[in-house]
């Protein structure tokens, strides 16, 4: 398969509007997500939360991206410098594989659920932030500017239309 077919084609997502907060000032980011993906044969895609941070409040130029992959389909994989996990933390009762790599000038941390897809989940995204600030060098002085949730399709080789349906979703920044 050509490398360009493995690039993300789109990101259908819900984008939370909130006042940016320093990571050190966050108390919680509670979330619930329940979804289904139909007609996934031949599809390469993920279902993920996407958080962006920067040293300036409200910046449109993120310095760090934190992805939480609750779904990985068809061999989809995260950005990684080495292709290998850098840690395997358990957060909110789920074992995650953590990857790290660059995307332009931005550093990307990607948590991929070891038992993905997790199609029904409630947790606190701040636990991922706290893990990164305490053990992976994410600066706690960064501002959380963006929280999104959705799906990134990479390719569909089967010629069928995959259907992503969300039946329960909530997220808040506290």
| Tens digit of each residue's pLDDT (9 = 90 or more) over 81-126 | 999 999 999 999 999 999 999 999 999 999 999 999 999 999 999 9
Quote the pLDDT of residue 42: 82
Q: Please state, rounded to an integer, the average pLDDT across all residues of the chain.
A: 92
Residue 139 confidence class, pLDDT cut points 50, 70, 90? very high
Cβ atoms within 10 A of the Cβ of 24, count?
Answer: 12
Catalytic residue numbers? 65, 152
Which DSSP state fits 87? B
pLDDT at 165 over 60: yes
Quote the pLDDT of residue 2: 37
| Tens digit of each residue's pLDDT (9 = 90 or more) over 19-53 | 999 999 999 999 999 999 998 888 889 999 999 99
Q: How far is CA 149 from CA 28, 68, 125, in A?
A: 17, 9, 12
3-class secondary structure, 132? helix
Residue 3 confidence class, pLDDT cut points 50, 70, 90? very low
Please check whether residue 171 is in contact with residue 15, taking contact to mean a CB–CB distance below 8 angstroms.
no
Which DSSP state fits 127? H
Residue 156 confidence class, pLDDT cut points 50, 70, 90? low
Helix then strand then coil, in percent of the chain rounded to 5, is: 10, 50, 40
pLDDT at 155 over 80: no
Quote the pLDDT of residue 6: 61
Quote the pLDDT of residue 88: 98
Q: Which domains does the chain have, with CATH numbers?
A: 3-168 (2.60.120.180)
């Amino acid at each position: 398969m050509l490398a360009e077919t493995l690039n993300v084609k789109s990101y259908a997502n819900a984008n939370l509007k909130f006042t940016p907060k320093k990571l050190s000032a966050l108390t919680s980011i509670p979330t619930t997500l329940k979804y289904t993906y139909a007609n996934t044969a031949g599809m390469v895609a993920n279902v993920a939360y996407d958080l962006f941070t920067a040293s300036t409040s409200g910046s449109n130029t993120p310095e760090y991206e934190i992805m939480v992959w609750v779904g990985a389909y068809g061999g989809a994989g995260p950005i990684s410098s080495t292709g290998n996990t850098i840690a395997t933390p358990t957060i909110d009762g789920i074992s995650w594989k953590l990857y790290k790599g660059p995307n332009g000038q931005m550093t990307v941390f990607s948590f991929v659920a070891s038992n993905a897809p997790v199609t029904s989940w409630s947790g606190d995204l701040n636990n991922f932030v706290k893990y990164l600030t305490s053990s992976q060098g994410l600066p706690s002085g960064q501002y959380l500017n963006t929280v999104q949730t959705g799906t990134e399709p990479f390719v569909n080789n089967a010629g069928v239309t995959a259907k992503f349906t969300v039946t329960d979703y909530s997220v808040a920044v506290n």
